[in-house]
Amino acid sequence: MQLQDKFQRSIKYLRLSVTDRCNLRCFYCMPDKGIRFLPKEQLLSYEEMLRLSDLLTSMGVDKIRITGGEPFVRKDLIDFLEKLSLNSQLNKLSITTNGILTKPFLPHLKALGINQINLSLDSLNEANFNKISRREEFSNVMNTFHQMLADGFRVKINAVIMEGINDHEIGDLAELAVKYPVSVRFIEEMPFNGSTNNHTTIKWDHLKILKELKIKYPDIHKTPTPGNSTSENFTFQGAIGDIGIIAAFSRTFCGSCDRIRITSTGEMRTCLYGHNVLNFKQLLREGHSDASIISKIIDAVQKRSKDGFEAEKLRDKTNPIGESMSLIGG
Ligand code: SAM
Ligand code: SF4
């Protein structure tokens, strides 16, 4: 069976948020103070996540990315990943991390066949990194980065570009692709920051980011981009890695979106900009059968919006965009 929406987009990719907690406070993602992290019972248990993963992979999902909050903040993550990796219908298991606690677990990840890691790194300047993340963890993150390379992981660097904050570092961040075989992905800032301060326009959209890159690397040019990719990919002379630009705010890639999300509170989203469409936690805890959950998933996916703009319009007006990305799962 292949899960498909009414626009014939196959759903192949699950982003699974395993926690709302984090050891950073990146200001574009969550407020510094006043965050109320959820009690454990309000998160899905690992057993519940495994059951949902089994159901979704039986419906054609073949790629799962673990995200959060910071995944490594949750206890026993490796045991969970070990169980998840036994799912024979899964072609790819990957993880997005801020790198703070990740280094000691790299050998475990390797052993589980997790070869690709997305590392969030918005600045190469320690003071600026601290300002953005509101914590002092730069050296830990960089140590993890270098260890990941030494261990042969495929590394993607995620950098959210923000006006007056790290826009002056676009060139330096891109240079990582000259020094190392990494993908440096520049991400448009989205309004999911856990506050009511939600921007409706951005200065650093994908076009402006590319224009800036062209100043330093005039020969930068597109490379073939897989159909379901959210990033437009580029290379330039001298690069041993590559560059990706993710139009997460401009939403240029919705037409081929193959992903769904399970939030840390156990709800399904068929679009990042939309509302929750299915409460898995409730279904599981009420004792619904696999068949019942499967039919609800099919139904919810059928109702999926055409794109992120339509999904945003259909949101409940009492629940405007602005929740923290750490809840939704990035
Ligand atoms: N804590 C992990 C990390 O930072 O890599 C995983 C969770 S984090 C929510 C996943 C990704 O979402 C990160 O790469 C982060 O940069 C991105 N992100 C968070 N808030 C964002 C926002 N408002 N706009 C764009 N990207 C955002
Ligand atoms: Fe934490 Fe990741 Fe959000 Fe930063 S982006 S606060 S590391 S969840």
Q: What is the pLDDT of residue 318?
A: 66
The residues lining ligand 2, judged by C-beta closer than 6 Å to any ligand atom, are: 22, 24-26, 29-30, 68-70, 98, 120, 325-326
pLDDT digits (tens, 9 = 90+) for 128-148: 999 999 999 999 999 999 999
CA of 133 relative to ligand 2 center, distance in Å: 8
Residue 321 has pLDDT above 90, yes or no: no
Give the C-alpha separation, 53 to 64, whole Å.
8
pLDDT at 281: 97
**Å from CA of 14 to ligand 2 middle:** 19
* Domains of the chain in sequence order: 13-328 (3.20.20.70)
Q: Residue 78: what pLDDT?
A: 98
In which band, very low, low, confident or very high, does the pLDDT at 222 lie, cut at 50, 70 and 90? very high
Question: CA angle, corner 35, sides to 30 and 36, nearest 5?
Answer: 140
pLDDT at 227: 79
| Ligand 2: centre distance to CA 98 (Å) | 7
- Residue 86 and residue 94 in contact, taking contact as beta carbons nearer than 8 Å: no
Residue 320's pLDDT is 67
> Looking at the predicted structure, is the pLDDT value of residue 299 above 80?
yes
pLDDT (tens digit per residue) in 166-193: 999 999 999 999 999 999 999 999 999 9
Confidence of residue 207 (pLDDT cuts 50, 70, 90): very high
pLDDT score at 197: 74
- Give the nearest ligand 2 atom to 98 CA: 7
